[in-house]
Amino acid sequence: MKDKVYIQDLGKYVGREVKLEGWLYNKRSSGKIKFLILRDGTGLLQCIVFKGNVTEEEFEIADKMGQESSFRVFGLVKEEPRAPGGYELDVKKLELISESHDYPITPKEHGIEFLIDHRHLWLRSKRQTAILRIRHRIVKAIRDFFDSRGFTLLDTPIITPTSVEGTSTLFETQYFDLGKAYLTQSGQLYAEAGAMALGKVYTFGPTFRAEKSKTRRHLTEFWMVEPEVAFFDLNDDMDLAEEFIEYVVQTVIKDKAEELKTLERDTSKLEKVKRPFPRISYDEAVEILKKNGVDFPWGDDFGGADETIISDQFDRPVMVHRYPAEVKAFYMKRDPENPKLALAVDVLAPEGYGEIIGGSQREDDYDELVKRIKEHNLPQEPFEWYLDLRRYGSVPHSGFGLGLERTVAWICGIEHVRETIPFPRMIYRNTP
């Protein structure tokens, strides 16, 4: 009897009898009527159980069922503008699937540690499902953007023989008889090989940093999308980054209005995220800090607080380019105008969300790159394959990496990256 339907599709079933399955989100009662709020993963629906319309047994079930009990209902779909979602169900039949009592997460406030300990259950909340849906939409927008612009997806390895972004944040493991291996910090070096084969590529997957930082922006396992393009210089790279960010943000505002509303996100701030983005040099960024009373020594890398001051000057993401080479990775090309500088760019998100993109033009000269590897005290042998890219038909090329979780946090307007990934990994937590 009756078709199984989902709450998100109820508009098509007004006036018809349907079957729904899900969990009890909340309930209240008023004498002979029980109001059960059903949660089915696609939305919430108020189900009205009227004593006269169901058996005594069914009414008893409605009465006793605890939060998050799973059940099946059959009933008539009605339009009800005052109900959440705009519809309600006039219940004709009710079946308990599995009882739940003393569900740990009640509608009252819980501390963050308690909630993260129960992350596997916390995911069921309205706020968390909104964030997860937005994350999914962002992932799809990222793929659509590159797929529709001639990029080929290149999956890069997670187990690697080298560091990419410095040796201080490497997760190490013993790899059979072959010695030490590391969880990748970035797919970039392999993406560069891909760009020499396919022209335009992107890699998109989990990356790992043994980060000692306990901040709202750091995870030890996070997702990064990294485009890499042959014959691109730093300016081309910045053009791509701003078009990309604009596309992702504008797509999410358009398609995920309801979820953003659930999160009480002020979307007027996101609407401003349109090209062109301001581009300032590191030197200009240092000037901004000085004007704002920060005693900032030239040559240092920006901390989170510095990034906030810089980005607060603008109403959209700001691209800071040409950093001191000393604070940047070994593979970055030096600025021919000033070899103290690297042809690097960081994109800082507005509203204090900090760096969401790090990118650069790559060193394409064999001798220079060998020199950089030595200067960074890296062993040359594991990089021989990477040096081959400079031995055989080297070309100028550039790319960047966008951190997915920081981007989700910014677009959702939430404080900490721990809520942007289903099961966060941080310095003090690897469970559940």
Please enumerate in sequence order all residues whose Cβ is within 8 A of that of 146, keeping only pairs 6 or more positions apart, or say none: 153, 200, 202, 225, 227
R_g of the chain computed on alpha carbons:
26
In this chain, which of 224, 263, 286, 389 binds ligand 4AD, going by CB under 6 A? 224
**Per the structure block, which two tokens stand in for 312?**
């607060």
Select the residue whose beta carbon is closest to Mg ion and give its number: 358
Q: Using CB atoms within 10 A of its CB, is residue 57 exposed (0-12), middle (13-18) or buried (19+)?
A: exposed
d(CA 137, CA 130): 11
Span interacting with ligand 4AD, options 3-11, 105-113, 299-307, 393-401, rule CB under 6 A? 393-401
In this chain, which of 67, 129, 188, 361 binds ligand 4AD, going by CB under 6 A? 188
Considering only residues 128 through 167, tell me which ones interact with ligand 4AD, judged by CB under 6 A.
Answer: 164-165
In this chain, which of 357, 369, 408, 414 binds ligand 4AD, going by CB under 6 A? 357
Span interacting with ligand 4AD, options 5-13, 51-59, 292-300, 395-403, rule CB under 6 A? 395-403
The reply on whether position 324 binds ligand 4AD by CB under 6 A is no
The reply on whether position 420 binds ligand 4AD by CB under 6 A is no
**Per the structure block, which two tokens stand in for 38?**
């059903």
Helix (H) or strand (E) segment spanning residue 127:
helix 126-147
Span interacting with ligand 4AD, options 61-69, 370-378, 389-397, 402-410, rule CB under 6 A? 402-410
Helix (H, G, I), strand (E, B) or coil at 51: helix
Considering only residues 356 through 375, tell me which ones interact with Mg ion, judged by CB under 5 A.
Answer: 358
Q: How far is the CB of 117 from ligand 4AD (least distance, A)?
A: 21
# binding residues, ligand 4AD (CB under 6 A)? 24
H helices of 256-383, in order, are 257-262, 267-271, 282-291, 304-311, 366-375
**Binding partner of 372, given ligand 4AD, Mg ion, none, CB within 5-8 angstroms per partner class:** none
Q: How far is the CB of 355 from ligand 4AD (least distance, A)?
A: 4
Please enumerate in sequence order all residues whose Cβ is within 8 A of that of 421, keeping only pairs 6 or more positions apart, or say none: 135, 219, 221, 222, 223, 404, 405, 408
Helix (H, G, I), strand (E, B) or coil at 122: helix
The reply on whether position 354 binds Mg ion by CB under 5 A is no
Q: How far is the CB of 294 from ligand 4AD (least distance, A)?
A: 21
Nearer to ligand 4AD, 89 or 349 (CB): 349
Tell me which residue of 148, 138, 328 sits closest to 251, measured CA to CA. Answer: 138
The reply on whether position 418 binds ligand 4AD by CB under 6 A is no
CB atoms within 10 A of CB 49: 25
Sites of contact with ligand 4AD (CB under 6 A): 164-165, 186, 188, 209, 211, 218-219, 222, 224, 226, 355-360, 399-401, 403, 405-406, 417
